[in-house]
Structure 1
Amino acid sequence: MMLHLTSCVLRSTFHAVRFTWLIVLVALAIGQPAIAQVPAPDEETYRIAKQLNCPTCAGRNLADCPTETCAQWKAEIKAQLDAGKSAEEVLDYFQARFGPTVLQEPPKTGVTAPLWAAPVGAALVFLIAAGWVMWRTSRRAAPATLAAAGGSEDPFVAALEEEVRKDG
């Protein structure tokens, strides 16, 4: 009797799990077309807008700024892309019209080239200075190392060390 009851419980649990999976699959099948019909944002417009600064908000890129000016600029980007211009041509257009400060990453030429080279130069200066300090420190430590190794420059100390070695 107990075995029959256990098998009935297991069978009803199996049917409940199977029914739950059926509901999940139906819900996914019904919900999938609605998700697929949502228009995807224009990736190229967004990618270009991420490379431009907002003209009114300091430190914000064009893609993340909700101002009306940014909306107009994004529409201009989309229109130029639809006209067949490349991403570089669109960026060049905005740079020519508003100057290099409109770009999130300024060009690495002209006046800004030393600014891009400054971190590398600073790292080299630091490494050279650290190497020089280590070299100077090792030169000062050399006589102390010789004395500790038994190669003392003082003849009296050398004779004393020799005598200790003979007795020891």
Structure 2
Amino acid sequence: MKRFSTLLIPLLVAGCLSLHAQTVDEDLVHEIADNLRCPTCQGLSVNDSEAGFSVQIRNKVRDMLMAGQGRAEIEAYFVARYGEWILRTPPAEGFNLLIWILPALGLAGGFWFVWSKSTQWKAKDRPPPEELDALTAEEERRVLQDLKRFENS
């Protein structure tokens, strides 16, 4: 019995260590798979799809993570295999930079258009300033008299 336990304990420890070494952060698998487009489903990520092809891609992501590869290497692998189309979030470089910039420019242009039109409409609604007549000598004398009274009090 002692001999059996002497053999069993190292085997159990080795088995536990190998299981621990093979664990992968499933959140990271889902995060990477969420950024990959399902090749067979319309508008779904690999993470959301249950198509056979998506399951294979998720398993490949898991295997690559177990092999020690990082997120960038995994995404580069799938881009090399399927093209940039496979990424749900295109990289912000080159022509794809327009995808990131144009919505902000469109929004800013829309705000500018609304602002400029509203100022034009306000200007149209405002009555034109009337010409002011010059003060007569009597009016000027009264203004000066009122100013002196104000300064003296």
TM-score normalised to the size of structure 2? 0.63
- Output the CA distance in 1 between the equivalents of 2:118 and 2:53: 57
Q: Does the alignment pair 1:69 with 2:53?
A: yes
Question: Helix, strand or coil: the match of 2:126?
Answer: helix
Matched, 1:107 2:115: no
Deviation at 1:40, TM superposition (A): 9.7
- RMSD after superposition: 2.5
The number of residue pairs the alignment matches comes to 111
Find the partner of 1:131 among 115, 125, 128: 115
Task: Give the aligned partner of residue 147 of structure 2.
Answer: none
Counterpart contact for 2:24–2:62, Cα < 8 Å: no
5+ residue gaps, structure 1: 1-38, 147-151, 156-168
1:117 and 1:132 map into 2 onto residues whose CA distance is 22
Q: Which amino acid aligns with 2:67?
A: A
Q: Verify the 8 A CA contact 2:36 2:46 in the aligned structure 1.
A: yes
* Cα separation, 2, equivalents of 1:106 and 1:44: 19
Note the residue ranges of structure 2 that are not aligned, 5 or more in a row: 1-22, 134-153
- CA distance in 1 between counterparts of 2:75 and 2:24 reads 23
Whether 2:128 is the aligned partner of 1:140: answer no
* TM-score normalised by L of structure 1: 0.58
Q: 8 Å contact 2:24–2:66 — kept in the other structure?
A: no
Extract structure 1 runs of 4+ deviating beyond 6 A.
Answer: none
Residue 80 of structure 1 aligns with an amino acid whose one-letter code is M
**Deviations, residues 26-49 of structure 1 (Å, cap 9, x unaligned):** xxxxxxxxxxxxx99822212211
Larger helix proportion, structure 1 or 2?
1
Residues of 2 paired with 1:153 and 1:141: CA distance? 18
1:128, distance to aligned residue in structure 2 (A)? 1.7
Q: Which has the higher contact order (CA 8 A, sep 6+)?
A: 2
Q: Once the two structures are aligned, what percentage of the paired residues are identical?
A: 24
